[in-house]
Structure 1
């Protein structure tokens, strides 16, 4: 009679923990290994990752298509800029305020949008993204928004005890917010609300029959998604030190959608991959061709979508699954050989 095996931790869990530890070490060491300009770029990539996570919760997990999330990014940026410039509010306090404002704005926008689905919702959000720069330029708002000239923000100083430069300090501030937002999203999406979001995306009629309040879940999802994007907008304004209406055109909204698709729909870690793509690939395209950088960028998009139709996160899942199957087959064959011998 064979002796029972002692319970062991799954190898995949150990690998995941080791991977997270290595990722944390690399993320913390990065600002000390590159120039200040690269630190600035990586900080913006972290900002975009927060925005992409919010949009992915709406589109990837709940199935609502938004082509106007750049508007919520602009709202968050202007809330932070106005609070810092007009009222002298500390920069760290403007971030949760911007998130709260965008949560309310997204929830209110989501209520009438409940009647719209698919392409109709996409067009409604597209209209919001197109209108936002003009709203910010409206003459009756110029006293607050600065009109077409925008608002200049003073870059926060790093505390003396840290010994960090301004760029390094902002990097760690954004990294800390990113970790908090990712943990919140992970808990939310793996809980009851997250299951309801996915059920509405896949089988809305069945979800409603099971007692899911589809209207409330969809509105709350829109609000939470806007909150994430608003937090990213506030951080982006603090990092860039400047906000202006022309910085938040519809191209920003389209760029966020590109990042979500490239990173991988319905994937939390996909937000990181998508953010790195939208931050660095345009620079790579510009270095390859000064005459037609956007043509090169389009080629990158086509190649990425052809090679990775499920996004970078989807490709990693597929490769990890194949490696796991290969390892299981090897373990099974070695166990069979031992039993026969």
Structure 2
């Protein structure tokens, strides 16, 4: 079904699907930290900026091949995440959230004020993607990017899933469930938390780098606090502690504004105020969606999908 999508949808919807795939990779990274390790982070936008600017500068100014520039963005973002993850050794809960929020503010401040990054223009242009002689064409831009992003997202999901079958991944979950008990059975809390920040932000750096090459322009306006809130909403709606839920949540939150505008257009004749106050209406729907999931299905879309599969697996029996 995923392979058939480019044959069915036009460029507008393909652009949305491509955005959702990039967001899925970033959401997987955030879920590794928040859902699997229990370390709250509000600095997603800042770490996306690190990955995007790093890959853009390496490719555009230094002539580094795209593959190595993206790899460099992943490694640098992971390193920056580990540095900002140091407060996690002493802080928990709300205090840790405030510390990661500070990282968001610090990174965006540096991006806006450091003229080296944008050469005083406020943005960085990125050359059209070209890998091993293959170049994206304008005629099939969205379709070609979709296939590339689909493969990368599948690989990222596969890696993330298998991380939690290793001792390192299990130590993440032990820290989440009860860090004192985890320490008592031999888990090195310092190493586990710092590694979690590094692995998580490595995925985020990958998403930022892909965003830079897909949009072909990088500007700090793309990485504000609103983006951090959106990514947090993705893993809440999709399901904390679930790789598949990260993908469901990223797709849902990406398509939510579009579906909201479509609903407002359909109801415009009956309730013209919806169309006139569309931005406020979108914010209201966004907030209401999060509240509804927190109250009625805290495990998100992933749990809803599991229940649907269980129903058909055992039908017509109740259990």
Give 1:162 deviation, angstroms. 9.9
Q: Find the partner of 2:117 among 126, 135, 144.
A: 144
Is the Cα contact below 8 Å between 1:155 and 1:166 reproduced in 2?
A: no
Deviations 1:80-101 (A, max 9, x none): 1111221122333322111111
Aligned residues: 303
Q: Residue 31 of structure 1 aligns with which residue? A: 6
Q: Flag the 1:86–1:188 CA change in 2: closer, same or farther, 3 A.
A: same
**Which residue of 2 is the match for residue 269 of structure 1?**
244
What is the CA–CA distance in structure 2 between the aligned matches of 1:230 and 1:267, rounded to whole Å? Answer: 20
Separation in structure 2 between the aligned mates of residue 275 and residue 197 of structure 1, nearest angstrom = 23
Distance 1:111 1:163, change over 3 A: closer
Paired with 2:50 and 2:293, the residues of 1 have a C-alpha distance of: 31
Query: What corresponds to 2:126 in structure 1?
Result: 153
Query: 1:170 matched to which residue of 2?
Result: 145
> 1:198 & 1:98 partners in 2: Cα distance?
26
- 1:129 is the counterpart of 2:118: no
Contact 1:50–1:229, Cα closer than 8 Å, also in 2: yes
Compared CA separation, residues 152 and 189, structure 1 to 2 (3 A): same
Correspondence for 2:267: none
The TM-score, its normalising length taken from structure 2, stands at 0.87
Residue 320 of structure 1 is matched in structure 2 by 309
5+ unaligned residues in a row in structure 2: which ranges?
Answer: 265-273
In structure 2, the residue matched to 1:89 is 64
- Secondary structure, in 3 states, of the residue corresponding to 2:242? coil
CA separation of 1:257/1:146 partners in 2, compared to 1, >3 Å: closer, same or farther? farther
Give me the whole-angstrom Cα distance separating, in 2, the residues matched to 1:160 and 1:240: 15
- Aligned residue for 2:2, secondary structure, equals helix
Q: How does 1:1-341 map to 2 (within 5 A)?
A: 26-138=1-113, 141-147=114-120, 149-156=122-129, 159=134, 165-287=140-262, 288=264, 289-290=274-275, 291=277, 292=280, 293-326=282-315
Q: What is the TM-score with the length of structure 1 in the denominator?
A: 0.82
Deviations 1:55-84 (A, max 9, x none): 101111110000112111110000111112
Residues in 1 aligned to 2:31 and 2:66: alpha-carbon distance in whole angstroms:
27
Residues 133 and 246 of structure 1 are in contact (CA less than 8 Å); yes or no, is this contact kept in structure 2?
A: no
Determine the C-alpha separation between the residues in 1 that align with 2:92 and 2:318.
45
Secondary structure in 2 matching 1:154: coil
**Cα offset, 1:109, TM superposition:** 2.0
Counterparts of 2:148 and 2:311 in 1: how far apart (Å)?
37
Q: 1:32 to 1:93 in 2, by over 3 A?
A: farther
**1:164–1:214 CA distance, 2 compared to 1 (3 A):** farther
Which runs of no fewer than 5 residues in structure 1 stay unpaired?
Answer: 1-25, 331-341
- What CA RMSD, in Å, does the superposition of the two structures yield over aligned residues? 2.3
Q: C-alpha separation between the residues in 2 aligned to 1:73 and 1:145?
A: 16
Q: Is the 8 A contact 1:157 1:166 kept in 2?
A: no
Task: Report Cα offsets for 1:180-212 as digits up to 9, x if no partner.
Answer: 111111111122222211111112111111111
SS in 2 for 1:28: coil
Higher helix share: 1
Residues 262-319 of structure 1, C-alpha deviations (whole Å, 9 max, x = no match):
0000011001111112211012223424423322333343444444332100222234
